[in-house]
A and B are shown apart, each in its own frame.
Chain A
Amino acid sequence: MSTLKGRNLISITDFSKQEYIEVLDIAEGFEQNPKQKILSDKVVATLFFEPSTRTRLSFESAANQLGARIIGFSDPGGTSVQKGETLHDTIVMVASYSDLIVMRNPKEGSARYASEVSSVPLINAGDGANQHPTQCMLDLYSIRKTQGTLENLNIAMVGDLKYGRTVHSLVQAMCNFNATFHLVSPTELKLPSSVKMSIKNAGLKYYQYTDLKDVIPTADIIYMTRVQRERFPDPMEYERVKDSCILTAPMLQGCKENMRILHPLPRVNEITTDVDSTPYAYYFQQAQNGVYVRQALMAAILGAK
């Protein structure tokens, strides 16, 4: 039985290095054999207080493949939430109808709070700009799967490193695995100092760049994110830097053979479509891995693995 039974997953730092590995090992089993009806007596509630098609379908597919029944809503329109019911009351009620709650809510910190009032375990499927730990777990799974290990890798993080929550979580998680970080972003969107401090405190190194070309020969993983126009108060500034974080197929000449490109999706133009057919593109498989990782988390938390 897993040590994760009955636990919540709110923030990536809630789990230890050993627990990350445990989840990834269980997920590997689901990748080999995804249809295991081990949760057929369980009800999973998916509460999406804001729409997120990809994340919701990934969780629901995972729950379905485990045989669990699903209740919930995909946006709060037409529910008691719209009538002004508090998060507290919604969670207390839903907890009495289900064995596990999966929640997305735009309010930051809402997941931690909901887990404190819920009588059943809760998985955070994104609380505003704060945390989205299952995305981070699937990133770890994809890195381990493509590299054969999580240890001693050169990880390039590219794009909006200031606001990208997936970037912050992945940096924090990879601090457990002796990574070297290569941070590529426009000056305005550098990694916040608090996250850099986590790297320093782990005794690890990071290097900062403004041009993506500079990291291609050294990276084992290139983790791309979108640079959004609305982050720039001055549109001229956006125009000046927008191409510095775009990855094209010709740029990949001279990269390592084992290098793989990840992206939390949706992509806009930061990876041109000619990259999709190269052996380095991994972002679509990465999204598929999300189902196995979510199966693993639900099974472990509900005590079925």
Chain B
Amino acid sequence: MENKKEMVVSAIENGTVIDHIPTESVYQVIRILGLENYKDEVLIGNHLASGKLGRKGIVKIKNKHFTKEEISKIALVAPSASIIDIEGYKVASKFTAEIPDHVENIVRCANPKCITNAEVVPTRFDVVDRENLKLRCHYCEKFTTKETMKFAE
């Protein structure tokens, strides 16, 4: 965490801080979490100096705690981001967003001929390669990768 005296993005009393976001993924994180429509304070910082990443992004969301599914979404676009729960200006818990073994309902299958793109079928994937982010569709067995990944609305 930044030193509070020099804090570029102000602290929040209660909510969640998503820290150590790769700079290119900050706006994608906001988009997939639907934070454009969030009606409380959302503080966004990008290209901040970071010992770990060189430059990083940070998003602070007041009065918001994320579900398991939302944390999986963060992990898919910003693996290694830190999720910090804040209560009364203090860190209540802190962990790294990890890509799960199975991804359900979050991602659309990149194969246009897949049944999940033809009918209302919840998507299911096995994560076959965490490092290069490669998902295998449970239904059509084709791969969806970082480059072809789109998120379900």
Contacts and interface: CB of A to CB of B under 8 A. Distances in A.
Interface of A: 11, 86-88, 106-110, 112-113, 127-131, 194
9 contacts: A86-B119, A107-B115, A109-B114, A109-B141, A110-B139, A112-B138, A113-B119, A130-B142, A131-B141
B116 A109 contact: yes
A108 B109 CA distance: 11
B121 interface: yes
Nearest to A108: B140
Which 10 residue pairs spanning A and B have beta carbons closest together? A109-B139, A109-B140, A108-B140, A109-B115, A110-B115, A107-B115, A108-B113, A112-B139, A113-B115, A109-B114
Contact of B113 (A129, A131, A194): A129
A34 B140 CA distance: 34
B142 A108 contact: yes
Given A128-B113, A129-B113, A107 B141 contact: no
Interface of B: 109, 111, 113-116, 118-121, 137-143
B123 to A, nearest CB: 10
B115 A87 contact: yes
A98 to B, nearest CB: 21
Given A107-B113, A108-B115, A110-B115, A130 B141 contact: yes
A131 B137 CA distance: 13
Contacts, number: 50
Contacts of A130: 140-142
Contacts of B114: 107-109
Contacts of B139: 108-110, 112-113
Contacts of B141: 11, 108-109, 130-131
A107 B112 CA distance: 9
Contacts of A88: 119, 121
Residue of A88, A108, A110, A112 with most chain B CB atoms under a 10 A cut-off: A108
Contact of A113 (B113, B121, B142, B143): B121
Nearest to A87: B119
Contacts of A106: 113
Contacts of B140: 108-109, 127-128, 130
Contacts of A112: 138-139
Contacts of A11: 141
Nearest to A131: B141
A109 B109 CA distance: 11
Residue of B109, B142, B143 with most chain A CB atoms under a 10 A cut-off: B142
Nearest to B142: A108
A95 B111 CA distance: 28
Contacts of A127: 115, 140
Nearest to B116: A109
